[in-house]
């Protein structure tokens, strides 16, 4: 007897997984990275306390940065917006340096960072990078939807095949 490569449960699992990934990458990313104006961002004047590099994620090959402030809050910089110069500039910031931050209206991410009257992360550059990342996520989401449809088709074919096998076995036995 030949072993089946995929069971019905596996087909259903991958169909739901691909559908979920398609939804997150198509609609979720649009929510977080949708076009927004500078005026919609939260403007914060505070003092720099510390920073920490975050773990690499599945989506980004670089580490992110979390900036800790004396106001007790922490804000993230999207890994896509980080380059070597920004990383170096943040590492050289002294504790209690005055900083101003523009925070994305739909997340806790910094889209502009100024320290000691020097712009370390520019709003326009950050939003351009987020837009390009958003486009690639949309494309990935569409591919995941197509994959979900392929698994749906395979699930239907698997069910038909099982019914056909049962029908043949039933009629062979009689």
Classify 22 as helix, strand or coil: helix
| 68: β partners | 50, 74
Instruction: State pTM to two decimals.
Output: 0.66
What DSSP letter does each residue of 68-121 carry, written as one string? EETTS-EEEE-GGG--HHHHHHHHTPPTT-EEEEEE-TTSSBEEEEEETTEEEE
pLDDT in tens, the chain (174 residues): 455 666 878 888 999 999 998 888 787 766 666 677 889 899 999 999 999 988 755 555 567 899 999 999 999 998 888 889 999 999 999 999 999 999 988 888 899 999 988 999 999 998 888 877 777 777 888 999 999 999 999 888 888 887 777 777 777 765
Domain 38-130 -> CATH class: mainly beta
């Amino acid at each position: 007897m030949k072993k089946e490569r995929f069971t019905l449960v596996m087909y259903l699992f991958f169909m739901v997984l691909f559908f979920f990934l398609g939804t997150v990458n198509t609609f979720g990313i649009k929510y977080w990275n949708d076009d927004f104006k500078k005026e919609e961002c939260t403007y914060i004047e505070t003092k720099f306390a510390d920073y920490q590099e975050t773990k690499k994620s599945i989506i980004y090959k670089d580490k992110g940065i979390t900036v800790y402030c004396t106001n007790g809050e922490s804000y993230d910089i999207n890994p896509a917006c980080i380059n070597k110069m920004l990383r170096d500039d943040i590492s050289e910031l002294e504790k209690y340096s005055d900083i101003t931050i523009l925070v994305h209206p739909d997340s806790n991410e910094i889209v502009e960072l100024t320290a000691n009257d020097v712009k370390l992360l520019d709003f326009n550059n950050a939003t351009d990078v987020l837009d390009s990342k958003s486009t690639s996520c949309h494309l990935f989401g569409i591919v995941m939807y197509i994959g979900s449809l392929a698994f749906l088709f395979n699930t239907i074919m698997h069910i038909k095949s099982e019914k056909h096998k049962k029908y043949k076995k039933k009629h062979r036995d009689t």
